[in-house]
Amino acid sequence: NPDGVPVIFLHSGPGAGASPECRGFFNPDVFRIVIIDQRGCGRSHPYACAEDNTTWDLVADIEKVREMLGIGKWLVFGGSWGSTLSLAYAQTHPERVKGLVLRGIFLCRPSETAWLNEAGGVSRIYPEQWQKFVAPIAENRRNRLIEAYHGLLFHQDEEVCLSAAKAWADWESYLIRFEPEGVDEDAYASLAIARLENHYFVNGGWLQGDKAILNNIGKIRHIPTVIVQGRYDLCTPMQSAWELSKAFPEAELRVVQAGHCAFDPPLADALVQAV
C-alpha cells in the first residue's frame, strides 16, 4: 500500500539476501513494504563482493533508500544479523525510526561469532556436522577457524572459494532449523553468505568494541521496540536478547518456544503480532 505505514525488512547474514516470503510478516493493506538485498548479496551487484562493504556502508544505503522513496519515518524490522543492522541504523538515525521489531538478537561480538564458528560453542550440539565444517582447515589452524576460513573464502582459486563456502553455509544450515533444508545448495549460491559473514566476523562488524550497541542504547530508548526471541535458538542464543533487554528496559522482550528460523510458525506468529 503506497499510502500505508512504511516498513523496511532487513535480512540476515550478512549476505543471506531477501526473498518474496519476507513480505509475509506484513499486512499489505496496512503497510508500505520495503525489502532490499544488502550489498554483495541477493540481486545486488557485484555479487559476494566485500569491497566497500561494512556495517556503516549498509547503514548509509538504508538511509539513501529512505530518502529516495520520500519516507519520513519508518518501522524497522530485522532478525539475526538484521537485528544488528537495525540497531546500528536506529542509533545512527533515531529521528527516522518509528519503531523496531527485532528477532534473534545478534550484536556481532567476538563471543557470539566464536559460539558459531569456533570450537567449544555450538559445535558441542552438532559434533558430527562440526567435523564436516572443520574438514577444509588444516589441523594446526583449527584454533582460529574464522581467520583460517577467511584465507579460503578469499582465495584466488575459485574452486577453493566455492568448496569453503559450501562447507560454511552447510554448517550454518544446521543451526537455523531443527530440520535443516538446503544443505545441498549450489556452492555458488553459498558464496555470498559465507564470504560476507566471514568478512564481517573477522572485522568485528566495524563496531567500536564488544558493547558498542549496548552502550548506545540511550539514543533509541524513546523508540517503541519489541524483541522476539526463540528460547531454543542455537544460532543467536537467548543470552544476547536478555542482555539487550536489560540495557533497554523500555523494549518488550517476548520469548517464544522456538528456534532461530523466522518462518517457523511459532516465531512467525509472534513476529506478525509484534508488527
d(CA 5, CA 271) in angstroms, rounded, equals 16
Identify the pLDDT of residue 210: 82
d(CA 74, CA 64) in angstroms, rounded, equals 13
Which of the residues are catalytic? 80, 233, 260
All residues at 6 or more sequence positions from 128 whose CB lies less than 8 Å from its CB, including other chains:
none
pLDDT along the chain (275 residues), means of 10: 98 94 96 98 96 98 98 98 99 99 98 97 96 96 97 96 96 82 66 97 92 96 98 97 98 97 95 97
The length of the chain is 275
H-type helices in 231-274, by residue range?
238-247, 265-274
Strand-pair partners of 7: 33, 75
| Residue from 143, 146, 149, 144 nearest 161 by CA | 149
Identify the pLDDT of residue 34: 98
Ordered domains of the chain (ranges, CATH): 5-108+208-274 (3.40.50.1820), 110-205 (no CATH)
> What's this model's pTM, rounded to 2 decimal places?
0.95
Q: How many CA atoms lie within 13 A of 14 on its CB side?
A: 33
d(CA 213, CA 111) in angstroms, rounded, equals 14
Q: Which amino acid is at 83?
A: S
Identify the pLDDT of residue 187: 73
All residues at 6 or more sequence positions from 140 whose CB lies less than 8 Å from its CB, including other chains:
none
**Chain mean position to CA 24:** 18
Identify the pLDDT of residue 128: 94
Identify the pLDDT of residue 185: 57
Identify the pLDDT of residue 209: 81
